[in-house]
Amino acid sequence: MKLIRTCILTVLTLVSLGARANDYKPYEWEKDRARYVLPEKDAALSELILKQHAQYDYVLKDNEFVLYSTVHRIVYVNNNEAVQKHNRIVISMNNTLELLDVKARAINKAGKAVYFDKTNLKELKDENSGNAYKIFAIEGIEMGSEIEYYYTRKMTATLFDRAFMQFDAPVKNNSFLLTSPGHLRFDFKSYNGFPDVKKDEKENQNTYSTEAKDVPALKKEPFSYFSPNRKRIEFKLAYNVGRSPARLYTWDEAAKTFYKLLVTLSKEDDKAIDKFVKTIGDKPTASLDERIRNVETKIKTSIQVNKEGDNESLNQVESILKYKLASHQGMTRLFVAVFDRLKINCQPVITCSRENIKFDGSFDSWSFLDDYVLFFPDTRKFLEPYTFEFRYPLIQPDFTATQGLFLEPFVTGDVKSALSSIGEIPPTDYAINQDNLDIDVTFTDDLGANQIRQKRDFGGYNAALFTPYYELIPAADRIKMIEELTKQTAPDASIKTWTATPVPGENAGNFLVDVDFLSNHFVEKAGPRILFKVGELIGPQVEMYRDDERTTVVENEYNRKYDRKIRVHIPKGYQVKNLDDLKVDIAYHDRDYVPYMFKSEYTVKDDVVEVTIVEYYKEIYAPLSRYEDFRKVVNAAADFNKITLVLEKRS
């Protein structure tokens, strides 16, 4: 966030009081080292990180406060995939003032070293994000080689940061080191079982370190996010003892700083807001929910978001309303200003995506402060200001089921400020996020195909993919969208008629699709019998059949439900041999509560088999100890997907 960068610019004022300069000693590797001697089990691995060292040296010298950041890694590679994975090194240049040093070499099994030629260092820039990189390839890598490299960047001093200490390959020796001037003291918190940081704080220099051996690889698992589960260290500048014993950069200070950034408007901004508010058609007598939705619709349908742009005009309300273009922060400022004019109580909340990292309110690092949502105390609901498809009270799912920093506004005289509190951002109810099916199936006269009428009702997050956009989509693209949706179930579908109806409303409303199509995908003939793949009518399902040891808790993207009805008209003269295969009842019990379930049952009347399926996931998290129970529910849907009814002639 821009605010974090702004804070960094003020750090010289912070550190100058009571400052004591400290020196920086350039990092060096062992010039002529022997190869590692590996035990047989390690030598058999496809890849092994022999050394992983992260070093942060904060230096104050000649009135300049900078960070020297060093990464040193040695990787053993033992197959072609590992060689390809590690033969190219990418160095991010974000916040980097200078790449001070970079060295690399590959040592083969015979002990011969091939060194990296610095003239081969290339520069890349991502035109969309503006991020810059240095990139180079390491020559001479063979199976069984050790790839070693380190680089040191002189950087703008970051006051809050994190170091990941676990990877998708095992680490033999893992270490972390941070140094700083004696009067600038850091705080740390280790996560997911990594050892705590040891502190050695002295008058001239502080040294903070920790290490771990034999850190296992973290594998990617279904219903789990990789990054938040990695072992890591969060750290922040916490004290300037040369100035005061008070803690720096607290949640209270964050609330005041961010809130001021959001509500400070120029005279031009005020005039533009007053003019804009007159055009939105607010009705003070309407319900608060209706008023909030009206504001959201007016802003989101008239202002485009440029999330990568860093032009200051994208943050200025007057410019936003004039040019119809805003940054994330600019959109949030606009929403806050409009709700303030309409006297609608609105509290900004700052959080981060739990897909990337889990917000931890117990450790006041501003590195958690990535994204805004808005909270309305009078309705107890949320609004996401800069994502078009998510409409009040639906916000991005990875911003829910986590904590956030709530900014509680107050006014003292002419001064607007905010108090801080850490609060929970709850997930949406499972019943909102529906993907329901109503399917009617008949057989063609030759019994070689099916005529299928499929009605699909999307709600909540599932509807958000369609409802806000549908009226903006050209007719040809609408047809393509319906074809793609239908062919998820029937790859060979020949569509006869279709309708699609967006139903705007709370939680992104609903999106209704009604399709009539012909398909021979579900029918096979086996001599006198007909095989009907009824299970495939519910579409592809997640499969969790592998018995690998689970290492992370279950984490769903969002709560959800699937209500399905399937009516199969049995051809005249035929009967179904294996109807009881349709009976499935798998539930995860937590005493009297059932948070996850898959249940299917059937009835038969007038040669029509009606299958009713209820599947739901009411909770985001399931503990590691209950993983097998959760897996059974998921696999119940996958098992149903494989059910084939056997139709045979009546005797």
Q: What is the pLDDT of residue 79?
A: 96
Q: What is the pLDDT of residue 400?
A: 98
CA 531-534-540 angle, 5° bins: 120
Q: Give the DSSP per-residue string, 228-242.
A: GGS-EEEEEEEEETT
Domain topology for 2-240: Immunoglobulin-like (2.60.40)
The reported pTM is 0.93
Domain topology for 435-649: Jelly Rolls (2.60.120)
> Which of 314, 310, 334 lies closest to 325 in space, CA to CA?
314
User: 543 vs 152, 484, 535, CA distance in Å?
Assistant: 44, 22, 14
> Which of 56, 50, 79, 26 lies closest to 157 in space, CA to CA?
56
Q: What is the pLDDT of residue 22?
A: 75
Q: What is the pLDDT of residue 176?
A: 99
Write out pLDDT tens, residues 121-130. 999 988 766 7
> What are the DSSP E strand ranges found in 329-474?
347-351, 371-376, 381-383, 402-412, 415-425, 435-443, 450-459
Domain 251-425 is of which CATH architecture? Roll (3.10)
CA separation for the pair 319, 322 (Å, rounded): 5
AA identity, residue 177: L
CA 415-417-423 angle, 5° bins: 165
> What is the distance in angstroms between the CA of the first residue and the CA of the last residue of the chain?
74
| Burial of 84: CB neighbours in 10 Å, binned 0-12, 13-18, 19+ | exposed
Q: What is the pLDDT of residue 7?
A: 46
Q: What is the pLDDT of residue 15?
A: 55
Note whether 97 and 154 are within 8 A (CB).
yes
Residues of the chain with CATH 2.60.40.3140: 2-240
**What is the token pair recorded at 529?**
């019998």
As averages over each run of 10 residues, the pLDDT of the chain (651 residues) reads: 47 53 88 94 97 97 92 97 94 94 96 90 81 91 96 96 98 98 98 98 96 98 98 98 96 98 96 97 97 97 86 94 96 98 98 98 98 98 96 97 98 92 98 98 97 98 93 94 96 97 86 98 96 98 94 98 99 97 98 98 97 99 98 98 97 80
Residues of the chain with CATH 3.10.620.30: 251-425
Name the DSSP class of 628. H
AA identity, residue 11: V
User: 423 vs 358, 361, 378, 408, 642, CA distance in Å?
Assistant: 13, 8, 16, 11, 44
Note whether 54 and 43 are within 8 A (CB).
no
Q: What is the pLDDT of residue 104?
A: 96
Write out pLDDT tens, residues 288-304. 999 999 999 999 999 99
CA separation for the pair 315, 309 (Å, rounded): 10
Q: What is the pLDDT of residue 14?
A: 55
